[in-house]
A and B are shown apart, each in its own frame.
Chain A
Amino acid sequence: MKIQVRFFARLREDYPDAPSELELAADACVRDAWLAATGNVQPPANVLCALNMEYVDWNHAVADGDEVAFFPPVTGG
């Protein structure tokens, strides 16, 4: 299956060459998307994940056409 991957803020700068599109196995989860996009870097503890613009945890399953996003702790307001 094919999914979209997005990095924000510091993570976008840390992984400038990460692909925006990934081909993953049918049973892949959010963690698999991170590992594939970063070249198997272990995810830092404070990284947040979103699937189709909703917060999810690392073990959440992904489906074809999904958008997965990774970002650091938020600092708005």
Chain B
Amino acid sequence: MNVLITKQPFDPWQQVQAYQSEKLSAGQYGATAVFVGTMRDFNEGDDVNAMTLEHYPGMTESYLEKISAQAKDKWSLLDSLIVHRVGPLQPNDPIVLVAVWSAHRKDAFEASRWLMEELKSNAPFWKKETLKDGDTRWVEKNTEGY
């Protein structure tokens, strides 16, 4: 299980591959479920030029570690990886990666979905958008996942 909060741009596919090579035992995992969230250039009918992601250092990491441990209790998982970007972002930048490894697809699919929804609902991150005209605004709430 690993959680990483980073100010640096990251390549989610490279992260999955690197983590898998380093931490997973070849032949043990039969299912890898991956969710990647990417920054859009539009929201609520407006063009968005940039975004800043704020978090609560310490609480954000411990919350993500807690749900990773809970997922391992709820499903039969081999490992999980959560990477989340903070700081200034540009459209098309990956924001979040949730990857889950298990022997069979049911556990990987369900756990990755659950982790992502828990993260969206409770992990202390906040988005502030910069619109095309230079105005900034806080995103008030996330869209429903179900």
Binding site for B on A (CB under 8 A): 6, 8-10, 50, 53-55, 69, 71-77
Given contacts A73-B141, A74-B121, 10 further A-B contacts (CB under 8 A): A8-B54, A9-B126, A53-B56, A73-B142, A74-B125, A75-B126, A76-B55, A76-B84, A76-B96, A77-B116
CB pair B125 A76 closer than 8 Å:
yes
State how many residues of chain B have any CB contact under 8 Å with chain A.
28
CB pair B128 A76 closer than 8 Å:
no
Binding site for A on B (CB under 8 A): 37, 53-56, 58-59, 62-63, 84, 95-96, 116, 119-128, 138-142
CB pair A76 B120 closer than 8 Å:
yes
Across the interface, A50 reaches (CB within 8 A) one of B37, B56, B120, namely B56
In the complex, the chain B residue whose C-beta lies closest to that of A76 is B125
CB pair B37 A69 closer than 8 Å:
no
CB pair B59 A75 closer than 8 Å:
no
Across the interface, B126 reaches (CB within 8 A) one of A53, A54, A55, A72, namely A72
Question: When chains A and B are docked, how far (Å) is the Cα of A54 from the Cα of B120?
Answer: 16
* Cβ–Cβ < 8 Å partners of A9 in chain B: 54, 126, 128, 138
CB pair A74 B58 closer than 8 Å:
no
* Cβ–Cβ < 8 Å partners of A72 in chain B: 126, 138, 140
Which residue of B54, B56, B126 has the most chain A CB atoms within 10 A of its CB atom? B126
